[in-house]
Structure 1
Amino acid sequence: MSRKSLIQREKRRQELEQKYYLIRQSLKKELRITFSQRERWKINVRLQSLPRNSSAIRLRRRCFLTGRPRSNYKYFGLSGYILRDMVYACLLPGTRISSW
């Protein structure tokens, strides 16, 4: 189980990302359209004035059950060993157990 503080920090980052998503996208769109160097600089300054944690790149995908940050499968939202346990218990339909 991951530390609760790390999970809470990740939730705050998700909320910030959702809050500033439209603003960030509109600024990036303006940046792509403008050709003037001075205007691009002004837009870049406004983009940098947004909170750092509002960027989508700062989000970390975590396991839905345990909060584990590593070896996550996007399709299931679970970490590797939880996924394997669920497959062995036949809780995930459509998955196969590899044996060799």
Structure 2
Amino acid sequence: MSKESVKARQKKREKIVMKYASKRKKIKKSKNYELLQKLPRDASPVRLRNRCSITGRSRGYMRKFGISRIVFRNLASQGLIPGVKKASW
């Protein structure tokens, strides 16, 4: 489980990326890189990190479900994820 400050920082970055997305697109299209550098650093989508929506874990993230492998396993075992069941053969 990651710290609350890490989760909060990630949420803040997501908001800033959304806010400046259209502006960044226009500036990149015009190839005005000096103006692009004047935007906040966190406005770049490269600075985002995929994190588990429940625990905030960044490693072992499953993009399709938006959660980490550990949380996925627990929820799948409990039958809380529709269409997913434990494999047995």
Q: Please identify the structure whose Cα radius of gyration is greater.
A: 1
Q: Which runs of 5+ in 2 are unaligned?
A: none
What per-residue deviation string (whole Å, max 9, x for no partner) do you get for residues 18-47 of structure 1? Answer: 11111101111222xxxxxxxxxxx11001
1:70 Cα shift? 1.1
Q: TM-score, normalised by structure 2?
A: 0.91
1:12 Cα shift? 1.2
RMSD across aligned positions (CA): 1.2
State the distance in 2 between where 1:5 and 1:92 align: 28
- 1:28 maps to 28
Code of the aligned partner of 1:90: G
1:65 aligns with 2:54: yes
Structure 1 moving runs of 4+ over 4 Å: none
The answer to whether the 8 A contact 2:79-2:85 is kept is no
1:77 aligns with 2:66: yes
Aligned residues: 89
- 1:37 maps to none
Code of the aligned partner of 1:49: K
Q: Kindly report which structure 2 residues correspond to 1:1-20, keeping only aligned pairs within 5 A, or say none.
A: 1-20=1-20
Q: Which runs of 5+ in 1 are unaligned?
A: 32-42
